[in-house]
Amino acid sequence: MGLATYPTTIPASLRSYNDCDNLFGTTLCARFLLITFRLLFRTCNNQKFVIFQTNLEDSFLADLEDLSVNDNENLDEDNDDAEHMEEDVNGDLADIEALNYDDLDSVLKLQKSQRFTDIMKKVEDALEKGSDMSNQGMVLEDDPEYQLIMECNTLSVDIENEIVIIYNFIRDKYRLKFPELESLVHNPIDYARVVKKIGNEVDLTVVDLEGLLPSAIIMVISVTASTTSGKPLPEDVLQKTIEACDRALTLDESNKKVLDFVESRMGYIAPNLSAIVGSVVAAKLMGAAGGLSSLAKMLACNVQLLCDKKKAIGSQFRVGYIEQTEVFQTAPPALKMRACRLLSAKSTLAARVDSIRGDPSGSQGRTYREDIRKQIFY
């Protein structure tokens, strides 16, 4: 008895294994195919087909077992990686969690450290002296300015983290006076400036916020302040809050000096990489990778993950410093991940060129950037 006649076409949603995989998942897809073959061969009394059916079923079951084992192994590996990352982050943030909100000095130790003082002095001296072109024949890793840039990158991340700590302190204190302000002003430095300007003032019509924020935001703040449920802060609490604002603004000024120095030197250290992602992002990528040579050896898929570990947990997309580039920020939402992959790939190529000082003019980097823009915007 021959096989029963079956339709020669199948639903459009199941026309390929990939589509079935998308619909049911890898395991469910395999089970679906197994059931289909079972139904097919049940209509046949030929002993050879029965034997073939048994072998096919055993094969599918073996594949399913292997698939389950592999999935479990991958899941265990992902869990182990996540646990290690969480351990690192938890260790780095131990001081933040132990923050005494009545005494910032117990946590904010960066400005008092010798490392901060030494690096800032070198940065200020370098900015006054200008770029030293006498080191152009030196091996990149031996260049003092290259070493200082690496130190500045790490210091900049530490400064930003301390600013976040201070911002949380200011926000928690000033929430009693103006609880709605934190939802209107999101930038920590802008928030500190506005809090310092307003203080305990109830009537914001007498407070000049011009130049600190856009006019539309200032108007919303003024209207919201007139209906807020907050009350003036006690004098001692207000004093601590203003002092915290001053600390945040001082750290921001130091960070600007560091970034100015990095931007002025990256055109010499990594001209092609800077042409693609910008000087500041280029320095951050180098710092996170462990240097320009290490960045040049990395795979593109790993470059797009380079970021500050303290901010890696809980992010929606697995994108690091690359998301701070101008190309990524201006790319259409549907093409952002494509832009990220292109930027990572071209950044790796540019880092390889810069690591051997193959194109000091940066023209190769500009060509790479133009190629990326053509694929994203045109």
Cα dihedral across residues 126, 128, 129, 130: positive or negative: positive
Residue 106 CA to residue 94 CA, distance in Å, equals: 13
Residue 292 CA to residue 286 CA, distance in Å, equals: 5
Distances (CA, A) of 45 to 2, 40, 54, 56: 8, 11, 13, 16
**What CATH code is assigned to 270-377?**
1.10.246.90
Torsion of CA 249, 91, 315, 181, to 10 degrees: -30
Mean model confidence pLDDT for the chain: 76
For range 9-16, the mean pLDDT? 44
Each residue of 342-376: pLDDT tens digit? 999 999 999 999 988 888 889 999 999 999 999 98
317 has pLDDT over 70: no
- Looking at residue 240, its pLDDT comes to 92
Q: Which of 31, 41, 39 has the alpha carbon at shortest distance from 63?
A: 31
Whether residue 153 contacts residue 287, with contact meaning beta carbons closer than 8 Å, is answered with: yes
- Looking at residue 91, its pLDDT comes to 46
Cα dihedral across residues 50, 53, 59, 65: positive or negative: negative
Cα dihedral across residues 135, 139, 140, 144: positive or negative: negative
Residue 224 CA to residue 178 CA, distance in Å, equals: 9
**What CATH code is assigned to 92-269?**
1.10.287.4070
- Looking at residue 307, its pLDDT comes to 79
- Looking at residue 7, its pLDDT comes to 45
Q: Quick check: helix, strand or coil at residue 213? A: strand
Whether residue 198 contacts residue 207, with contact meaning beta carbons closer than 8 Å, is answered with: yes
162 has pLDDT over 90: yes
* CATH 1.10.246.90 placement within the chain: 270-377
* CATH 1.10.287.4070 placement within the chain: 92-269
φ, ψ dihedrals at 210, nearest 5°: -60, 130
% of the chain residues with pLDDT over 70: 67
- Looking at residue 74, its pLDDT comes to 46
Each residue of 72-113: pLDDT tens digit? 444 444 444 444 444 444 444 444 444 455 778 778 889 889
The DSSP symbol for 362 reads -
